[in-house]
Amino acid sequence: MEWEVVIGLEIHAQLATKTKIFSSASTAYGAQPNTQACAVDLGLPGVLPVLNQEAVKMAVKFGLAIGAEMAERSVFARKNYFYPDLPKGYQISQMELPIVGKGELTIELEDGSERIIGVTRAHLEEDAGKSIHGHTQGQTGVDLNRAGTPLLEIVSEPDMRSAKEAVAYMKKIHTLVQYLEICDGNMQEGSFRCDSNVSVRPKGQKELGTRAELKNINSFRNVERAINVEIERQIELIEDGGMVVQETRLYDAEKNETRSMRSKEEANDYRYFPDPDLLPVVLEQEMIDEMRASLPELPDAKRDRFVSELDLSRYDASVLTSSRELANYFESVLAASNNNDPKLCANWIITQLSGALNKTSLEIDDSPISAKQLAGLLIRISDNTISGKIAKQIFDVLWNGEGDDADSIIEEQGLKQVTDSGAIEAIVDEVIANNADQATQYRAGKEQLLGFFVGQVMKASKGKANPAQVNEILKAKLAG
Ligand code: ADP
Ligand code: MG
């Protein structure tokens, strides 16, 4: 039997407002417990929520970025359940009338193919507090700092067909909300979280299979692993004659397995109803237009522009636009090097710089080499002052903070490339004389020895001879 996998994601993006969605308490991360929860967040009687307009604007930006239908009128509803970290006894969310309706985005897969994934809706809601276990022996603490933090819940259509597609979609949203500056995307701090709904069905069947929901997995890697083990579990279960039950499951990363948390029968009936404390949200066209005008160049548009205007490969353009910071860095390097060689800039950022950053777990914003410094180095490669090999040495010097800029390092260490053909000829003559045997073999037809000679000449010149000239002169001399 051939199985088809079906996945839909619910992503919670914490909106980057300074204050909470219905109160003026701060949303800053990491404060002492319960120092950022005011009477509204504590659910004290007699207080009223006041909607934070910034949260609404951010939701609108997101909707516009995915070409979604915007709700002229949306309504907050109470989602009732009992839990210690939810003092009001209900969460304010949006149910029937969400602020953002249907939209879509395009994901790109590793093989370069593209798929369109539907977004069903995105709605505003408040976050709950946090239970803290193990702080006090035998007791559980409740920290309400997070209560009332604005969230945008982004619900996808069940359009994804593999764990890889799900991760590609999640990354796309992750990149997008950061471009829009509506969410910091920090997964460790819980600012970007994802629930994955997974089911399988026999290939060709129209109806969806019964799904399990995998809760709150906090890294891209674990989302992929969790979905894959869940797919395996469901297929095995069905093939052994069993049935998947609709339930919430927890992923245990250590054991790489999912475990039942609660089944549908145990699930809450949330008794949603419109919140009488809040007016419907009415979006005015003027505000929507203002938000549209404030949108930055979005990742797909930037990628396409890098391809069409700068002649970068699609792959390079995708990598460079995968984060707004990286794209900004690239554009700064390009500008500082007078736009002379986009391909060279792209190569050095994608291979050399990103490699060094990865090795040391640094983000592009913390790069020890500034865009200006890298540009200074690339200019000297372009104008043939130095070879690529010497450039790597200089890169290391800059990386280690042992020099200010490429020009002064070239000057101090005498790294200027030798382009004087007389000087190169002298070295070539010497190398050929010292390797007479190889020269005879080369002349007898063993042409692959050219590489050996190039290596010897480069070594004798301490890497400073211009490689193109070395090649040319060597060939001429060996032929003669
Ligand atoms: P709920 O109200 O229980 O959250 P929704 O209908 O809102 O359920 O769906 C939640 C998410 O689950 C959506 O992203 C949707 O695409 C996905 N989904 C729904 N049915 C399936 C299914 N059979 N298999 C996989 N994903 C599904
Ligand atoms: Mg849901």
Spacing, Cα 413 to ligand 2 middle (Å): 63
Q: Please state the rounded mean pLDDT for residues 3-9.
A: 98
Residue 302 predicted with pLDDT over 70: yes
Q: Report which residue type is found at 475.
A: K
CA of 291 to the centre of ligand 1 (A): 30
Asked whether the predicted pLDDT for residue 58 surpasses 80, the reply is yes
Average pLDDT, the chain: 94
Question: Which distant-in-sequence residues (6+ apart) come within 8 Å of 369 by Cβ?
Answer: 353, 395, 398, 399
Tell me, in angstroms, the distance from the centre of ligand 2 to residue 222's CA.
21
Residues with CB under 6 A from ligand 1: 6-10, 155-158, 197-199, 208-209, 211
Pocket test for ligand 1, best of 120, 197, 211 (most atoms within 8 A of CB): 197
Ligand number nearest to the C-alpha of 196: 1
The pLDDT assigned to 125 comes to: 98
CB neighbour list of residue 245: distance below 8 Å, 6 or more residues apart: 210, 212, 263, 264
Tokens representing 102 are 């249907």
Residue nearest to atom 17 of ligand 1 (CA): 8
Residue identifier of the C-alpha nearest atom 4 of ligand 1: 10
CB 191 within 8 A of CB 226: no
Confidence (pLDDT) at 33: 94
Atom nearest to 199 CA in ligand 1: 24
Which atom of ligand 1 lies closest to the CA of 213? 12
Contacts of 153 (CB under 8 A, 6+ apart): 10, 11, 12, 93, 122, 123, 125
Q: What is the mean pLDDT of residues 70-99?
A: 96
pLDDT band at 264 (very low <50, low <70, confident <90, very high): low
Question: CB count, 10 Å around CB of 451?
Answer: 10
> Residue 265's pLDDT band (boundaries 50, 70, 90)?
low
Average pLDDT over residues 144-173: 98
Q: Which ligand neighbours the alpha carbon of 197 most closely?
A: 1
Which two three-digit tokens encode residue 362?
């640094």
Please state, in angstroms and rounded to a whole number, the distance separating the CA atoms of residues 145 and 160: 35
When pLDDT is averaged across residues 7-34 and rounded to a whole number, the result is 97
CA-proximal residue: ligand 1, atom 13 (nearest): 8
pLDDT recorded at residue 246: 93
Is 206 strand, coil or helix? coil
Closest CA to 55 of 99, 89, 88, 85: 99
For residue 158, give the ligand 1 atom closest to its CA: 16
Residue bearing the bigger pLDDT, 112 or 104: 104
Q: Which atom of ligand 1 is nearest to the CA of 210?
A: 23
Q: Which ligand is nearest to the CA of 125?
A: 2
**31-35, 253-257, 319-323, 384-388: which has the minimum mean pLDDT?**
384-388
Atom of ligand 1 nearest to the CA of 198: 25
Mean of pLDDT values over 23-46: 95
Between residues 122 and 339, which one has the greater pLDDT? 122
> What is the distance in A from the centroid of ligand 1 to the CA of 197?
6
Q: Which atom of ligand 1 is nearest to the CA of 208?
A: 23
Highest mean pLDDT among 277-291, 428-442, 446-460: 277-291
Closest ligand to residue 156's CA: 1
